[in-house]
Amino acid sequence: MATILKIDNLVKNYGKIKAVNRLSLEVEKGAVFGLLGPNGSGKTTTLGVILDVLKKTSGNYEWFGKPSCSRSRKQIGAILEVPAFYPYLSAKRNLIIIAKIKGNGLERIEAVLEQVGLSNRANDPFKTYSLGMKQRLAIAASLLSDPPVMILDEPTNGLDPQGIAEIRSLIRSIAKQGKTIILASHILDEVQKVCTHFAVLHRGKKIYSGSVSEALNESNSLEVASRDMKKLARQLKEYNDIVELKEEKVLFTLTLNGKSSPYDLNKFLVGKGVILSHLAEKKNSLEQKFLKILEEADDQTY
């Protein structure tokens, strides 16, 4: 898979403050890559540097296998802040102005308005738009040149639940076109629902990077119970693929090592004469993973 963005030991200082601290990561073509972290972790600063809006202190970054230049930037549609649209002009008229300023043709205006779901409001003044509609128009503006890469900074920030759902759906539909998307967010649910890969930033440092599916599949736990809990306890202790076992009030929670499945465990117990009255798999959430990553990072700091 081709590498779209490569960051190598990137540093951005503001005086004594290290906003980005020796950050290295890669984003492959077709990925929806989330930069995840608390406010102040360096997400927006990182995006500003790789878009040449902010000057790096040291380190390197490449777009499409080459150092960043004006040609590569033209292949990136970015929203770091909501663009300043003319409030009394329609969405269509605003896009015409933006297209002329950026040197884009006008032929894609109807298509991008349709893509972001604003065709029926194309001729209405921008000032009449909801916050979610304004965000969708901003995405439409960044799509005018049909860029292969999209960068979104906190795309659902401040939106109501309906607006959040609309933006998430839009991001997924854009990704299905084969575009690479890089988004910064502090909202865990957002990253879990739209991203394929993510990195966690903490105090300017990358403390984790990987695929969302792998993170969610790590150490999924099981709940098991039987009418004979004492016999169940004895047999669970004999099952070698259990890496963690806890006894609750009316059931056991356990974690398998990945070599065994719930089916394998149930088959083993049946063979030992234990019939389960309860067997349920508890899926991890990105929130659990994220909090664990931050906890481990803090433990290493102090």
Q: Which of 192, 215, 238 is the last residue of a domain?
A: 215
Q: Is there a single domain that holds both residue 170 and residue 273? A: no
Identify whether residues 97 and 153 lie together within a single domain: yes
How much is the pLDDT for 301? Answer: 52
Residues 20 and 94 in one domain: yes
Is 226 found in the same domain as 106?
no
pLDDT tops 50 at residue 302: no
Residue 224 resides in a domain? yes
Domain range for 244: 219-282
* Residue 122 to residue 137: CA distance in whole angstroms: 10
Question: 103 and 242 share a domain?
Answer: no
Phi, psi torsion values for 95, nearest 5 degrees: -70, -35
Query: Which segments within the chain are labelled E, that is strand?
Result: 3-14, 17-28, 32-36, 58-63, 66-67, 76-79, 149-153, 180-185, 197-202, 205-211, 221-226, 242-247, 252-256, 276-282
Across 87-91, average pLDDT: 95
**Coil, helix or strand at residue 274:** coil
Same domain, residue pair 73 and 151: yes
* Domain stops at, among 186, 215, 244: 215
> What is the rounded average pLDDT for all residues in the chain?
89
pLDDT class of 217 with cuts at 50, 70, 90:
low
What does residue 148 show for φ and ψ, rounded to 5 degrees? Answer: -75, -15
The Cα-based distances of 105 to 67, 93, 114 in angstroms read 27, 14, 17
**Residue of 225, 168, 173 whose CA lies nearest to 192:** 168
**DSSP-derived pairing of the beta strands 205-211 and 17-28:** unpaired
20 vs 298: which has the higher pLDDT: 20
Any domain includes 46: yes
202 and 224, same domain (yes or no): no
pLDDT in tens, 35-59: 998 888 999 999 999 999 999 999 9
Give percent of the chain with pLDDT exceeding 70: 93
Residue 291 belongs to some domain of the structure = no
Cα–Cα distance, 61 to 302 (Å, whole number): 31
The amino acid at residue 255 is: T
Q: Both 240 and 273 in a single domain?
A: yes
DSSP state of 103: T
Residue 285: band (very low, low, confident or very high) from pLDDT cuts 50, 70, 90: low
Decide which of 167, 192, 215 is a domain's last residue.
215
Please indicate, yes or no, whether residues 134 and 208 belong to a single structural domain of this protein: yes
- Find the range with the poorest average confidence among 65-69, 127-131, 135-139: 65-69
Q: Answer yes or no: do 175 and 232 share one domain.
A: no
Judge if 263 and 179 occupy the same domain.
no
* Position with higher pLDDT, 256 vs 61: 61
Domain total of the chain: 2
More confident: 23 or 287: 23
pLDDT at 251: 93
Q: What is the pLDDT of residues 111-128, one digit of tens each?
A: 999 999 999 999 999 999
More confident residue, 292 or 223: 223
Residue 300's pLDDT is 60
Residues 151 and 229 in one domain: no
